Amino acid sequence: MPPPLDAAESPHKGQRGLRRLCNAFFFSLSGLALAFRHESAFRQEVALAAVLLPLAFVLAVAPVERVLLVGSVLLVLLVELLNSSVEAAIDRIGLDTHRLSKRAKDLGSAAMLVALALLLLTWAILAGPPLVALVAGTLLP
């Protein structure tokens, strides 16, 4: 029986089916743990998510708006994970300054800026009015 077509690309691609899914799940959990342990920006964004995600479910917004609020928070975490992986790969190649390494890191940083701007815009537009109403309601006698 000939080897699978994807076997030549990587020796780590041998698992298939349910075993592959199980391995992928645990690799993903490992990645989240590594990001939390080694990336201070990821820890800060997880702290922000710990505040914003429950708030998204408390605010009086439409279901579609709730999805957008939650999605904007998850997008920040996702882009941070990708940015951290690019930085780790670049650092693995070498710690010396190179214009292409700088470009890759700066592009990852720019992606984070865009994701954070989207989060701010989404929350300002969708959560701003309900938050103001919530705060105003608690301050009134």
Residues 131 and 135: their CA atoms lie apart, in Å, by 6
Of 68, 104, 64, give the one whose Cα is nearest residue 83: 104
- Amino acid identity of 137? G
Please give the positions annotated as active site: 80
